[in-house]
Amino acid sequence: MARQPQARHRMMIFVAAIFIIGCCIATYFAITIHPGEPVPGAGSATSPKSP
């Protein structure tokens, strides 16, 4: 039972590492999928027509 605190510490390191890797992957996809500002007129299919 003396090794239980060490096991918890290693598990927390593992969980933190997985979380950080997930955040890095999410940031990468957010940057590559949304590279810039929206182009004016790109959403014209959803905007109402003016008379």
Per residue in 25-41, pLDDT (tens digit) is 999 988 888 766 666 76
- pTM to 2 decimals? 0.58
Q: What is the pLDDT of residues 5-21, one digit of tens each?
A: 888 899 999 999 999 99
pLDDT at residue 34, rounded to an integer: 75
Query: What gap in Å lies between CA 34 and CA 31, rounded to an integer?
Result: 5
pLDDT at residue 6, rounded to an integer: 86
